């Protein structure tokens, strides 16, 4: 079961792109959670992409130190994905070099997926690569 945290306030509807036509049509759900974000009141944006095509793009405003996103039928079976995400540390309203921004390969999936992107476990900030997808 995938649950939204009560603290998550989506800014608007997630953008989902289904144009990865060469991949099999078996689709999987994706849930992303994470803790230890010192960005209460700030935007956290996330983008999941494969082969240069953004499959999911979403954002939320943190009301506590946790993130939680979930989407149904968004990952194509066997496709390698990368996730870019940022915390709008400088309150600019966009992903830029004043923010905490990360890139992580999350691999390919053959079933529904749950990934954890904790702030303290995140890789070093990577503004150039992460912000390119927003």
Q: DSSP for the chain, please give it.
A: -----TT-EESSPPEE----TTS-S-EEEEEEEE-----TTSEEEEEEEETTEEEEEEEEE-SSS-EEEEEEEEEETT--EEEEEEE-TT--SS--TTSEEEEEEEE--SS-EEEE--STTPPSP-HHHHHTT-
pLDDT of residue 121: 66
| Residues 31-87: tens digit of each pLDDT | 999 999 999 999 999 999 998 899 999 999 999 999 999 999 999 999 999 999 999
For 9-17+25-131, CATH gives 2.60.40
Q: What is the pTM of this model?
A: 0.79
pLDDT of residue 125: 80
pLDDT of residue 18: 54
Residue 128 has pLDDT above 50, yes or no: yes
- Give the per-residue SS3 of 84-95: EEEECCCCCCCC
| Residues 73-113: tens digit of each pLDDT | 999 999 999 999 999 999 999 999 889 999 999 999 999 99
Q: Domain boundaries in the chain? A: 9-17+25-131
């Amino acid at each position: 079961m995938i649950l939204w945290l009560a603290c998550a306030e989506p800014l608007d509807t997630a953008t989902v792109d289904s144009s990865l036509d060469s991949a099999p049509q078996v689709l999987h759900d994706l849930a992303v959670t994470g803790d230890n974000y010192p960005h209460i009141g700030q935007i956290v944006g996330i983008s999941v992409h494969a082969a240069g095509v953004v499959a999911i793009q979403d954002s939320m405003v943190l009301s506590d130190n946790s993130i939680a996103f979930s989407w149904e039928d968004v990952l194509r079976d066997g496709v390698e994905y990368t996730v870019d995400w940022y915390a709008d540390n400088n309150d600019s309203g966009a992903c830029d070099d004043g923010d905490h921004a990360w890139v992580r390969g999350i691999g390919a999936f053959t079933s529904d997926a749950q990934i954890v992107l904790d702030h303290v476990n995140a890789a070093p900030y990577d503004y150039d690569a992460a912000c390119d997808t927003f």
